[in-house]
A and B are shown apart, each in its own frame.
Chain A
């Protein structure tokens, strides 16, 4: 029994002692491998088509008139039109569409600046400075990675309400400037740890303090980690829904996700075209970012591997 099972293995190890029989068998083996590879390739292509279908469907559907929704589930619009786009430029609730985009961009850019600034500082402290309680704080920082946001959202709301900061962007942004997103701190810490200590120790011996070392040695070296952080921070802020839903009340201050909810609410199925068009437009910046920076993103997840 075992001898039979081992046969294919033996043919590979005895390959040098070829007889005509073994040669044919090797050919068969190679052919079989090739067929297997082709099958898996087809599986991958089909899988890609299924996974990307919702996005393709979204894009194509923006050219369908509203009346086609619920009647033409296929990809190709029966009466392609750009009416949806023309319609949505006017916006909703008296606010033009560009305003929502501008709000989203403003919030996301500020979030990126705050996140990079505060996370890089904290990460340098955790990775390179030997001060009292650094171990305790580091463990606490890792703990906040796993903390469900539910336990802080209610008190935070009460605090911001007391401070009269509802309907401003402060509640959305203050946390970014205070490095509350441990994901970014941890990402940069891991990156700094990968930099040989000799680099900054040489600077220290030359008399540079931590501030100098950080600015002139570490910052230039961690640029890839900063880029990855910036992109993730931008995308997550851009997508954030709960934050603006809680804190932003006036439509002219809405970022896109909350504005999208207006379309989704008030326009039921009758104006699906407009909803779909805005949904797509809201994804365009992220998809562009993704196409341009995909290596940074995928490598960032691979080396770091937190939420995506």
Chain B
């Protein structure tokens, strides 16, 4: 049954994002029949379109766009839910960057988590996908085993397990001691707790791996054969065939994993018991925002935090999309 999933969509994970908007806009024009009939048909299409889209439209305006606008407004106010919002201009933003050292630390911790964790995770995903692509036996079993952590990694259960695994005299500590490395528990250690969180993220490499694997299956064999005829070694083949052919998938994974990494919450909350400790080392952006908004009821201040994050994510996405021209090769480019 699954084989009916159209092959065509596989090539277009990333290209789909970019081009499908244009495609659906283009497909609107034109239709059979004379002008009046066409007009009537267009009206009918409009009615049907909005009827089908009604739930999404309500959700989009009431639960996404409306709240976004409201949160932008709140970010310029002081607001604690009990009294009316009080307009204070840019005060929240100024305070964030000049007076709130906890905030700045949370930015730093989150930045390390994202910009160290995501590349490691993607490299692991790509390396293991290539390994799996090369293997001929039990690939289905390996693929599923590697994918499983992605499915449960964000759950409270796994956070609890992770903490137990890395605590003093836990499995990781005693395993390392056995190898002669005595670094003690990771959970309470200021220097080790962030690496532990990054390991938890890397452990979930399965989702990008599966996407890489699908991408690798699309690379035409002839390209490798041609490279071999030209005398290319394994490294050269990787650099000149695999990487360029995979670049749309790399782009896609990079974009989504980066955005997702900013949003880590449950594991940090559980591992630090909601405190972000030790010494603020698990005080990820989302966790600090949660504390400010829902523990301290500083809803205006927390809204300002949210908008700073939105702008940062938008800038990162913008840079990634702009850089596409330099390094992302879409298969259909030549005949477009």
Contact = CB atoms under 8 A, between A and B. Distances in A.
A155 B210 contact: no
Classify the secondary structure of A's interface with B: helix
Nearest to B68: A151
Contacts, number: 341
A139 B31 contact: no
Interface residues of B, number: 123
A127 B16 CA distance: 13
Contacts of A157: 293-294
A224 B5 CA distance: 7
A73 B169 contact: yes
Given A130-B45, A178-B58, A264-B270, A44 B142 contact: yes
Interface string A264-308: 110000001001100110110011001000111111011111111
A148 B263 contact: yes
Contact of A40 (B28, B135, B206): B135
A308 B58 contact: no
Contacts of B50: 131
B289 interface: yes
A73 B174 contact: yes
Contact of B135 (A41, A74, A272): A41
B67 to A, nearest CB: 4
A51 B203 contact: yes
Contacts of A93: none
Given A44-B131, A132-B46, A301-B147, A178 B63 contact: yes
Contact of B260 (A51, A127, A134, A307): A307
Contacts of A37: 134-136
Interface in A85-138: 117-118, 121-122, 124-127, 129-132, 134-135, 137-138
Nearest to B67: A155
Contacts of A58: 157, 161
B210 A44 contact: no
A150 B309 contact: yes
A19 interface: no
Contacts of B58: 178
Given A52-B145, A144-B64, A303 B152 contact: no
Contacts of A24: none
B152 A283 contact: yes
A257 interface: yes
Classify the secondary structure of B's interface with A: helix
Contacts of B149: 51
B235 interface: no
Contacts of A125: 48-49, 52-53, 56
A135 B48 contact: no
B230 to A, nearest CB: 9
B48 A131 contact: yes
B162 A54 contact: yes
B156 A305 contact: no
Interface in B278-327: 285-286, 289-290, 293-294, 299, 302-303, 305-307, 309-310, 313, 317
Nearest to B259: A146
B265 interface: yes
A239 interface: yes
A257 B156 contact: yes
A84 B16 CA distance: 49
B110 to A, nearest CB: 12
Contacts of A117: 55
A156 to B, nearest CB: 5
Interface string B23-51: 01101100100000000001001101110
A214 B52 contact: yes
Contact of A180 (B64, B68, B152, B169): B64
Contacts of B299: 154, 158
Interface in A143-188: 144-159, 161, 174-175, 177-180, 185
Contact of B68 (A152, A246, A256): A152
A241 B269 contact: yes
Nearest to A135: B25
Contacts of A238: 155
B226 to A, nearest CB: 12
Contacts of B179: none
B202 to A, nearest CB: 10
B266 interface: yes
Contacts of B53: 121-122, 125-126, 137
Contacts of B290: 242
Q: Which of B207, B299, B302 has the most CB of A within 10 A?
A: B207
A54 B161 contact: yes
B71 interface: yes
A264 to B, nearest CB: 6
A174 B148 CA distance: 29
A16 B252 CA distance: 45
Contacts of A138: 20-21, 24
Interface in B202-261: 203-204, 206-208, 210-211, 213-214, 228-229, 231, 249, 252-253, 255-256, 259-260
8 contacts: A9-B229, A47-B146, A54-B162, A117-B55, A121-B52, A180-B63, A238-B155, A308-B204
Interface of B: 1-2, 4-6, 8-10, 12-13, 16-17, 20-22, 24-25, 27-28, 31, 42, 45-46, 48-50, 52-60, 62-64, 66-68, 70-71, 74, 81, 128, 131-132, 134-137, 142-152, 154-158, 160-162, 164-165, 167-171, 173-175, 203-204, 206-208, 210-211, 213-214, 228-229, 231, 249, 252-253, 255-256, 259-260, 262-263, 265-266, 269-270, 273, 285-286, 289-290, 293-294, 299, 302-303, 305-307, 309-310, 313, 317
Given A256-B156, A305-B253, 7 more contacts: A51-B146, A74-B171, A148-B263, A153-B293, A158-B81, A190-B16, A301-B210
Which 8 interchain pairs have the tightest Cβ spacing?
Answer: A308-B207, A178-B59, A131-B49, A194-B6, A135-B25, A155-B67, A308-B150, A125-B52
